[in-house]
Structure 1
Amino acid sequence: MKRDINGAACYAYTGGKPFDPALPTVVFIHGAQNDHSVWALQSRYLAHHGYSVLAVDLPGHGRSGGPALVSIEALAAWLVAFLEEAGVQRAILAGHSMGSLIALEAASRAGGIVAGLALLGATYPMKVSDALLETARSDEAAAIDMVNVWSHSSIAHKPSCPGPGFSVMGGARRLMQRMSARNPDGLFHTDFAACNAYANGEAAAATVQCPVLFVFGAKDVMTPPRSTKLLTGLLTHGRIVTVDAGHQLMAEAPDAVLDALSGFAAAALK
């Protein structure tokens, strides 16, 4: 599905079903240097089981045009505008990594339609090391390789991989490379700098009254479980699910993530 937001064509994957704003909606928000495809299993399943789905490509990512936005606040405002343009009436916002910050900020701005908030691979503050930020600025290819290694728990992939010969790490690396090719204006650095600079998480969390689901990877070294105590403390009514995965938990533990999301959607959107 395509919409025009702020003069730029923007895209959201609808899971292989026509988007129906009258249905309860699950909105998927990807992380840095990614696009909607990281939610392939989860978005398609829910679209075929009673929900409308919008797996967005953020500006400057995937099939969405325009420059990449430089702050979490600007990305959240864009997301709210997309939901309004699409006619969404009631939704769960599910965000991964950078997308979790966008979901949190957007929930504070569009609380009337947000029935639930699912935060995956999330932490706050989401600080990025100076070394990684500088590498992202000066050598994006090297930064992609660094993050790809850190985002996976091992090079031995799980039985839930799509098929023989499929490489989870190889697919993630190729996706980030593809984002660089489609948007060569320092996309990686723009995304990670936005995460690093976001400082409104406590104020945003204070406004959230809807149900909250946290999904953490037990082996995540990008947003490790020990770093999440401030965020979970701000949202004390949140439920925590831990899966056997690294930071790329949708790929490494797709069925466990789907189980958590589908159960949460059924409860929050009943």
Structure 2
Amino acid sequence: MRVLHRPTASGDLALHVRVAGVDPDRPPVVLVHGMAGDHSTWRTFARALRREGRSVVSVDLRGHGRSGHAATYRLDDFRDDLRFVLDDLDIDVADVVAHSLGAHSALRLAMDVPNRVRRIVLEEIPPMPRDQHDLDENIVVAASLGERVRGLGWAVRNPVPIIRFDRRVATEVSTQFEVADPDWWTRLRAVTAPALVISGGRRSFLPPQHLRSLSEVLPGGRFTVIGAGHSVHRDRTADFGSAAGEFLRSP
């Protein structure tokens, strides 16, 4: 692991990243986990990428894994951390594969600096609520009982992410999804990277139609369903690897 020190108003924030592989001809693939996870959730997919010769950067978000706990957990904080990682590692442009909270953060990055992202895979990304109707559905950042049960086995095998997770992240992030933000949907038009939006289907707490709507707004959006629930890359590893890998191999 490499430790990057990002200056913030409350002091330096340690961001841990794992960098592996060298591919001078293609952009690195940046992997961003979801809430309460860390870089280790991508081990299988990262190995597959390295077998193809790709260089891989796996990030621990603030408040997760070996990265430091922070004073704030605004959605734009996570976006800015990802931009800092690109800057500090001298990465001009990257492919990004991200899950849940990480996918939302990565999409904010692609909205803010579209020239830094070549292709982006958004697995089970929670979109911002558009209006009161979306708010009334109460669908975001609250995993279903089934998802929690499916995640229990993973947590038993690898308890470190849960142990290191700053619980304030969940509270602060959830609060930000309780306010409608139609402008977020408008700003999606700024994304220039082709995007693959992966839904976990009806087993997920995120209704597939919301993710399909997101893919339709993105200028280069594509949509697919892999019926695994919220953690597709974990519970349908081969299917996720096939879909995401094929997408990343496109020119």
User: Which of 13, 21, 27 is the aligned partner of 1:8?
Assistant: 13
| Pair 1:210-2:193 in alignment | yes
Q: Which runs of 5+ in 2 are unaligned?
A: none
SS of equivalent residue, structure 2 residue 143: helix
| Pair 1:88-2:118 in alignment | no
The TM-score, its normalising length taken from structure 2, stands at: 0.82
The 8 Å contact of residues 21 and 50 in structure 2, kept in 1 or not, is answered as: no
Residue deviations 1:160-214, cap 9 Å, x none?
xxxxxxxx53214776x64453255533323433454583531431101221111
SS of equivalent residue, structure 2 residue 203: coil
Q: Residue in 1 aligned with 2:147? A: 151
Q: Residue in 2 aligned with 1:42? A: 45
RMSD: 3.1
SS of equivalent residue, structure 1 residue 92: strand
| Pair 1:201-2:202 in alignment | no
User: Which of 203, 227, 242 is the aligned partner of 1:244?
Assistant: 227
Over 3 Å counting, the alpha-carbon distance change for 1:63 and 1:264 in structure 2 is same
CA shift for structure 1 position 44: 2.0
User: Which of 161, 182, 186 is the aligned partner of 2:164?
Assistant: 182
User: Which of 198, 201, 209 is the aligned partner of 1:226?
Assistant: 209
The 8 Å contact of residues 98 and 195 in structure 1, kept in 2 or not, is answered as: no
d(CA) in 1 for partners of 2:83, 2:42? 20
SS of equivalent residue, structure 1 residue 205: helix
The 8 Å contact of residues 30 and 56 in structure 2, kept in 1 or not, is answered as: yes
SS of equivalent residue, structure 2 residue 104: helix
The TM-score, its normalising length taken from structure 1, stands at: 0.76
AA of the residue aligned to 1:64: S
Larger RCO (CA under 8 A, 6+ residues apart)? 1
The 8 Å contact of residues 120 and 216 in structure 1, kept in 2 or not, is answered as: yes
AA of the residue aligned to 1:2: V
Within 5 Å, give how 1:259-270 maps onto structure 2.
259-267=242-250, 270=251
CA shift for structure 1 position 236: 4.9
The 8 Å contact of residues 124 and 231 in structure 1, kept in 2 or not, is answered as: yes
Residue deviations 1:79-112, cap 9 Å, x none?
1011110111221122211111111100122222
- Matched-pair identity in %: 24
Over 3 Å counting, the alpha-carbon distance change for 1:69 and 1:203 in structure 2 is farther
CA shift for structure 1 position 30: 1.2
d(CA) in 1 for partners of 2:27, 2:69? 29
Q: Which runs of 5+ in 1 are unaligned?
A: 137-145, 156-167
Q: Which is worse superposed, 34-43 or 18-27?
A: 18-27
d(CA) in 2 for partners of 1:243, 1:130? 22
Over 3 Å counting, the alpha-carbon distance change for 1:128 and 1:66 in structure 2 is farther
Report how many aligned residue pairs link the two structures.
241
Q: Residue in 1 aligned with 2:30? A: 27
d(CA) in 2 for partners of 1:58, 1:19? 23
The 8 Å contact of residues 180 and 188 in structure 1, kept in 2 or not, is answered as: no
The 8 Å contact of residues 114 and 191 in structure 2, kept in 1 or not, is answered as: yes
SS of equivalent residue, structure 1 residue 202: helix
Over 3 Å counting, the alpha-carbon distance change for 1:42 and 1:192 in structure 2 is farther
CA shift for structure 1 position 33: 1.5
Over 3 Å counting, the alpha-carbon distance change for 1:37 and 1:192 in structure 2 is farther
User: Which of 174, 178, 186 is the aligned partner of 1:192?
Assistant: 174
Q: Which is worse superposed, 194-203 or 209-218?
A: 194-203
The 8 Å contact of residues 69 and 75 in structure 1, kept in 2 or not, is answered as: no
